[in-house]
Amino acid sequence: MRFTRDELQQFRDRTVPDLLPHPLRLLFIGINPSLWTAATGAHFARPGNRFYPALHRAGLISHPFDASAGYRPEDLAELHERGIGISNLVPRATARADELTRAELASAPARLDALVATHAPAVVAVLGVTAYRQAFAQPKARLGEQDSPWPGTRLFVASNPSGLNAHATVDALAAEYRAVGETAGILAP
């Protein structure tokens, strides 16, 4: 599936439903949906995004999903079976994350508080240290485990899989995602 720039613009400011299986073991938090994600309804759907190749290399999924045309039923079922969920700091779709306002990012912790309170994931992994720093007012935060504001849920910051984050290779992403998968109990250490 391919979209023109004009077709994608029709999806600006739309939201994409969170993927929240039960039980929820590992909740990945993106920055916000891309226009491609909003068009397809599948998280991290933009061609070139390295999320699913990294999940596969980490051993969290059985094969690299191609979500560029939406989820295949069997891929969605696998995420549910493994307890892997996906949401965003900000639910509004934009062409680039730098289009988000400071106020939108500042409201992200309350959004995550509600998700964690309702779904009680073992681990939350925010994908993007810069967005995490802004949203959680933690200007010196680094990749890795953070102090969690949620009793019973561990909090990690991992690298963003966007192709714009060129210094993070698929192998490096996979190592980070494997660590959170082990902590969540999806993978054996």
The domains of the chain, with CATH numbers, are 5-183 (3.40.470.10)
| DSSP-based three-state secondary structure for 161 | coil
Residue 27 β-bridge partners? 85, 124
Model pLDDT, residue 166: 66
Instruction: Let me know: does 51 contact 31? Beta carbons within 8 Å.
Output: no
> What integer best gives the mean pLDDT of the chain?
94
Neighbours of 116 (CB within 10 A): 20
Cα angle 101-47-97, degrees, rounded to a multiple of 5? 10
Percent of the chain whose pLDDT exceeds 70: 97
Q: What is the pTM of this model?
A: 0.95
Average pLDDT over residues 118-142: 96
Between the alpha carbon of residue 171 and those of residues 13, 24, 54, 122, 178, the distances in Å are 32, 25, 7, 24, 10
Report whether the peptide linkage leading into residue 151 is cis, meaning its omega lies within 30 degrees of zero: no
* pLDDT for position 80: 97
Give the residue among 144, 37, 140 at the shortest CA–CA distance from 96: 37
Task: Please report where in the chains the tokens 């909003």 appear, as a residue.
Answer: 38
pLDDT classification of 103: cutoffs 50, 70, 90: very high
pLDDT higher than 80, residue 120: yes
Q: Around Cβ 35, how many Cβ atoms within 10 Å?
A: 23
Decide if pLDDT at 86 tops 90: yes
- DSSP-based three-state secondary structure for 23: coil
CB atoms within 10 A of CB 114: 10
Helix (H, G, I), strand (E, B), or coil: what is residue 187? Answer: coil
Burial class, 101, CB count within 10 angstroms (exposed 0-12 / middle 13-18 / buried 19+): exposed
- Tell me what pLDDT residue 163 has: 64
Residue 182 has pLDDT above 80, yes or no: yes
Higher pLDDT, 3 or 93: 93
